[in-house]
Amino acid sequence: MSRVPGPPHMSGLKKRIADYRAAGNGRSGSAYVRETFCLSREEARKKAREWFDAFPKAAYWTEVESWRQLDDDQIEFTMRRLHSAD
């Protein structure tokens, strides 16, 4: 079985994306720190509570940025907060 190459423009796009990320121009320039987790429902609640306790919402604008329930009762979620409270 031979592999069919993708459209020629895709290889150039993939290289530009890789170069952009390697240069540190991705999320690192954001004012926010994000971390994504995939945990059981109870563990997800505990992890979110840890974030809110360590980085109070009033100072760090901490929030659950997105979440979804997966088939095996796992919760995938992204926590977001400011780098610092200053």
pLDDT tens for residues 53-84?
Answer: 999 999 999 999 999 999 899 999 999 999 88
Q: What share of the chain is helix, strand, coil (3-state, %, to 5)?
A: 40, 30, 30
CB 74 within 8 A of CB 37: no
Looking at domain 32-86, does it have CATH number 2.60.40? no
Instruction: Please tell me the pTM assigned to this model.
Output: 0.64
Mean per-residue pLDDT, 5-23: 68
